[in-house]
Amino acid sequence: MTEFSNGGGPPIYSNDPGGHKANHDVNEQKLHREGPLGLWRQISDMVIAVGVIALIVGVLMWIF
């Protein structure tokens, strides 16, 4: 099984299948509790970044 989070390097094999299942269960609970990082979070981050840049440009135009 290939790990996508390790940058596409060689797969990491675990000697502890119980640990792998426990990690999977924790990640599954977190996903159900918080939801996936999706489009709305990216959109809100982009709106905040554009707002900050617009504020900086506005202040610079006001000064000069």
Q: DSSP E strands: which ranges in the chain?
A: none
- What is the sign, positive or negative, of the torsion defined by CA atoms of 50, 52, 56, 58? positive
pLDDT of residue 5: 53
Q: What is the pTM of this model?
A: 0.45
Cα distance from N-terminal residue to C-terminal residue, the chain: 58
pLDDT of residue 31: 77
Residues 6+ apart with CB under 8 A from 3: 9, 11, 12
Provide the 10 A C-beta neighbour count for residue 54: 10
Q: Where are the domains of the chain?
A: 39-64
- pLDDT tens, N- to C-terminus, the chain (64 residues): 444 555 555 556 657 777 888 888 888 887 777 666 667 888 899 999 999 999 999 999 999 8
